[in-house]
Structure 1
């Protein structure tokens, strides 16, 4: 492994992190994230998984091979603790329940979105499309619907969990794990803290190399970025732990990475306000003036799906600036128009002389 080989973590195999704690990356075909980490905890009463992966034959085969390398098999999985409801984390958990009887756990905040998905019979991100339209990106919303290849809806992989989780401690297979709700990436995202071992299974809340998308779900996301920042700060009030993320290599300080993420968003707030300048613009217009990803890619060079995430993230940053009193927002024909408050104040002053 070299410092340039950033994708090494996604290659198939088993990485033993601690005695009885193993990481198995499962494939995500045609996805820029490459893989999702499933963590295997070997306990006296069987195996516990943190996150389940995407319900695909290739993913199941890699999981089976990884367990076989540990001298274990799928039938020993008794519990799957899912961090959030996105398909690369949740759907294979449901499949494992159907095939081996594993119990599935999910944050209670995911319930509205899961119920909405069942009613709509689609996994098209309705709330994200609504945000695009409120951002002045009707053309992009239509391209998302036209160009993105969503899988046929399969109701069987979107069943409710066995247990909806709130804040507290659970003991699957005898291991005490603290459940910490961390809304932001989704409303019901949770992380699992193993205080005895000093490990945080962070899902997509804290990732080592990228910042997670915010509010990508079916149900109304509320104020996802404000929630996300609060959830990050919450982790700094706990004892530091080793970071075990869903995407990217395991290891490193949770507190150190949280500090980097908070600093990133501070920089993003400043840059968003700078692009808006003294004008009145919608989020689509601001997003097109920003650069994206670590490589500082122009908006026009992003794919359709990533453009959707970029506009939604820009809208989230603008909404927090409104909450902070730095911007004002007005609904103009169903599109949110943002204006710096200092310009509003200047315009409202009576002229003299």
Structure 2
């Protein structure tokens, strides 16, 4: 994904970048320090028939997606697949070969959410193996909608959302120019599979010989799920099984929480509220170990949940202070603290930052700590 790629401030199509360089890194060390298997440094054995393969994400500071392989009585099942890129595909295939299996042997794929570093290779996996692909209905809806939308609809939507957020015309102009030129004939991410099975919250997935239960954790996307492996930890660590956490709970990063809406959707969503509620649900679960989709496995999920809850409350307090002066979401994003100065944040990441600012403002409004200023266009918000 290049830095000048236009990006939506709201619900992104599956090909859009989902985790921004402006996302907070709350850890002094965000590198993967997991042990490796033999001479294949991209494969980690987590014990009990669970492995992780580090599948690269091209040109992205996250570096890689941890694609997990779960052994079942009917063959290996993947949790996520990685980015749709030849090098990513080759790495996935090499990792499976190191485990004595192959892409053609994959029995099924469970997708934590629709973003391209998780869902991207699912179409190729299904084509090679005939595997079923499972996803929560809310994210499947995004995938289906993307395939049925004309690219121009998204350019118009992105332009309108940015204008409503207070973005300057010079920022919106590249989107209008792209729309007029017709240079983007299709939306990205279209090679990912349309899922053929639904992940139902609180139900066990049909995996022979394993107990894997879906936990709906909206926030990062509307249909994000964590997957609870209800089995004793192979190293007898204290706690309640293991958790494949996708992007919901990461050891050193707070995932992007922006708006998820369709162009025709008139609902006022509260993604940050959804995320915070979902975090508390995972904290109460108390898994012995968390196997996330980025960085590295970790323990003490309740402590990490508390850190993230505190982080977002601190950010909400900071925004409430900024809103002593009425501001648009764009104006807020310009003044918020990111991991680099605003003038150094690239085009697409600014759009993501504005989306995150607006998600936080919606939470403040819902809490009664902020309100829209009547009669403003673009709308501005103020603290109350």
**Superposed displacement of residue 134, structure 1:** 2.4
Q: Which residue is equivalent to 1:185? A: 220
Gaps of 5+ in 1: 342-353
Q: Which residue is equivalent to 2:253? A: 210
1:276–1:12: structure 2 CA closer, same or farther, 3 Å change rule? farther
How many residues end up aligned between the 2 structures?
A: 334
Q: Which residue is equivalent to 2:165? A: 135
**Superposed displacement of residue 30, structure 1:** 0.9
Q: Which residue is equivalent to 2:194? A: 160
The answer to whether the Cα contact below 8 Å between 2:284 and 2:302 also exists between their aligned partners in 1 is no
**Superposed displacement of residue 217, structure 1:** 5.0
The answer to whether the Cα contact below 8 Å between 2:328 and 2:380 also exists between their aligned partners in 1 is yes
The answer to whether the Cα contact below 8 Å between 2:150 and 2:186 also exists between their aligned partners in 1 is no
Aligned partner (choices 310, 313, 327) of residue 263 of structure 1: 310
Secondary structure of the equivalent of 2:285? coil
The answer to whether the Cα contact below 8 Å between 1:327 and 1:339 also exists between their aligned partners in 2 is yes
Cα distance in 1 for residues equivalent to 2:119 and 2:275 = 20
Secondary structure of the equivalent of 2:93? helix
1:154–1:137: structure 2 CA closer, same or farther, 3 Å change rule? closer
Answer yes or no: is 1:327 the counterpart of 2:373. Answer: no
Answer yes or no: is 1:194 the counterpart of 2:224. Answer: no
Say which structure is richer in strand.
1
Cα distance in 1 for residues equivalent to 2:95 and 2:224 = 26
Cα distance in 2 for residues equivalent to 1:49 and 1:24 = 10
TM-score (structure 1 length as normaliser): 0.86
**Superposed displacement of residue 78, structure 1:** 0.4
Secondary structure of the equivalent of 1:49? strand
Answer yes or no: is 1:299 the counterpart of 2:376. Answer: no
The answer to whether the Cα contact below 8 Å between 2:146 and 2:187 also exists between their aligned partners in 1 is no
The answer to whether the Cα contact below 8 Å between 1:328 and 1:338 also exists between their aligned partners in 2 is yes
Cα distance in 2 for residues equivalent to 1:125 and 1:30 = 23
Q: Which residue is equivalent to 2:118? A: 89
Secondary structure of the equivalent of 1:243? strand
Q: Which of 1 and 2 has higher RCO (CA within 8 Å, sep 6+)?
A: 2
Q: Which residue is equivalent to 2:297? A: 250
1:125–1:260: structure 2 CA closer, same or farther, 3 Å change rule? farther
The answer to whether the Cα contact below 8 Å between 2:259 and 2:271 also exists between their aligned partners in 1 is no
Gaps of 5+ in 2: 1-26, 35-39, 233-240
The answer to whether the Cα contact below 8 Å between 2:29 and 2:252 also exists between their aligned partners in 1 is no
TM-score (structure 2 length as normaliser): 0.79
Cα distance in 2 for residues equivalent to 1:315 and 1:154 = 25
Q: After superposition, what is the alpha-carbon deviation per residue over 1:181-224, rounded to whole angstroms, capped at 9, x for unaligned?
A: 11111111111000214111111111111111123656358211
The answer to whether the Cα contact below 8 Å between 1:169 and 1:179 also exists between their aligned partners in 2 is yes
1:29–1:199: structure 2 CA closer, same or farther, 3 Å change rule? same
Cα distance in 2 for residues equivalent to 1:154 and 1:310 = 21
Secondary structure of the equivalent of 2:327? coil
1:166–1:19: structure 2 CA closer, same or farther, 3 Å change rule? closer
Say which structure is richer in helix.
1
Between stretches 163-172 and 179-188, larger displacement belongs to: 163-172
1:238–1:144: structure 2 CA closer, same or farther, 3 Å change rule? farther
Taking only aligned residues, the RMSD between alpha carbons, in angstroms, comes to 2.8
Q: Which residue is equivalent to 1:173? A: 208
Q: After superposition, what is the alpha-carbon deviation per residue over 1:164-192, rounded to whole angstroms, capped at 9, x for unaligned?
A: 22211112233121101111111111110
